[in-house]
Amino acid sequence: MDHPGARMLLVAATASGQGKTTVTAALARGLVRQGQRVRVFKCGPDFIDPMLLERACGATVHTLDLWMVGLQECRRRLAAAAREADVVLIEGVMGLYDGNPSAADLSRAFDIPVLAVIDASSMAQTAGAVVQGLRDYGPVQMAGVVANRVASEGHRQMVAASLRGIPLLATLPKQARRLPERHLGLVLPGEVDDIDAILDELADQLHLDTEAWQALTPRLPEHSDPEQAIPPLLAGKTVAIARDAAFCFIYPANLDVLRSLGAQLRFFSPLAGEPVPPGTDAVWLPGGYPELHTEALSRAAPWRDSIRAIHAAGLPILAECGGMMAVAESITDKDGQCWAMPALLPGRVVMQQRLAGLGSQGMPTAAGELRGHTFHYSTMDTDLEPVAYTVKQPSGLRGEAVYRHGSLTASYFHGFFASNPLAAAGLFTQETP
């Protein structure tokens, strides 16, 4: 029997902080508990929200971004998800029209209707004006509304009446327990002991209008372009990847690309006292939260000694953002305490209260531009001259420095390997950016 397709919705809002992630997670968890097959995507560069959404739906959450991921790859992933799921949810980024490209651009590119999340805690009838503005400004298709932080049944009725025919698909009351946050976003799901209980609680609290939900039409997007074959440039090579609470910012698509390039992947945890695995040909140190684990990292002798040995042997090391911080000379935390690091990179990292870098950027390489982004609260003080700079998107201004020190390539830039697999391969085979 042919698959009828999936109900597809882009969950968006007027701004950050309105409850997009909470609503997406609650809806996904609730539908999964009803026996629905749910696939969730995250719009725009992000590592933390996808981890929470993956916990909510039980399936890998991939990134959709018209610039970083690309139109064709976004279309391919959406079409594949609609063929294996009953519901496809895409969580937007910031406000619906924020950014270039924006979540609204993604909605229009693939004809996906918007589910608007409205924080109703300080409004009632004005919700209708806000939703109609979101719909008409682009315009975008408006599938319906989720009113978040609704105080009472009377409050819900006032919001519903204001929408003038736009369905109020669901409501969520003010939450006694919220998803915990920190400076780069939500706290990692693995760090919250009762995260599944919180997700179940949110799913229980979400009141879904079943009739309005059933009225949404399933779709089966067409996709004719085959996935492009990736040459096995890393065949026979073992890439060791640091993965724990200090090194956790990993796009699932990046792992897929490395495997498609032929690499064998081995994971290790510096925080657990694990050294770089023997037999490694290259090392990837992804971003994460080294600033929250400075004491443990500074005392992790197996990690320190093994990464120094890898560097001394001239094996390629890619250190992205938190990975770069963790191999500098030192990290000074927000309390002003300085912690020694392995010193592969001559430089000192200092944490600060305000954001130091944010946005989509492209890194020039011998194989062309590798697209990605940056997001960090620290600064790097080094006398080392950069070998290149990333380019900010869409302004074209100079972005993050890219450093090369021996076999180490380091930058605050997070690369999205699927945007240029050949460039990604070069980072693990000692090709100079």
> Can you spell out the DSSP letters for 383-427?
-PPPSEEEEETTT--EEEEEEEETTEEEESPEE-GGG-HHHHHHH
Neighbours of 132 (CB within 10 A): 17
**Spatial contact of 28 and 36, defined as CB atoms under 8 Å apart:** no
- Torsion sign, CA atoms 53, 56, 57, 59: positive
Strand partners for 146:
117, 170
> Can you spell out the DSSP letters for 141-168?
-EEEEEEEEE--HHHHHHHHHHTTTS-E
Whole-angstrom distance, CA of residue 46 vs CA of residue 347: 27
Question: Which tokens belong to 162?
Answer: 């204001």
Determine whether 321 is an active site residue: yes
Task: Give whole-number Cα distances, 314 to 25, 68, 185, 199, 416, in Å.
Answer: 44, 31, 36, 46, 25
**Spatial contact of 198 and 176, defined as CB atoms under 8 Å apart:** no
CA nearest to 212, candidates 292, 113, 140: 113
Distance of CA 28 to the CA centre of its chain: 17
* CA-atom Rg of the chain in angstroms: 22
CA nearest to 164, candidates 140, 198, 128: 128
CA nearest to 206, candidates 180, 234, 175: 175
Tell me the backbone φ, ψ of residue 418, rounded to 5 degrees. -65, -15
Whole-angstrom distance, CA of residue 231 vs CA of residue 423: 12
User: Which of 57, 248, 321, 338 is flagged as catalytic?
Assistant: 321
Distance of CA 142 to the CA centre of its chain: 25
So which residues are the catalytic ones? Answer: 321
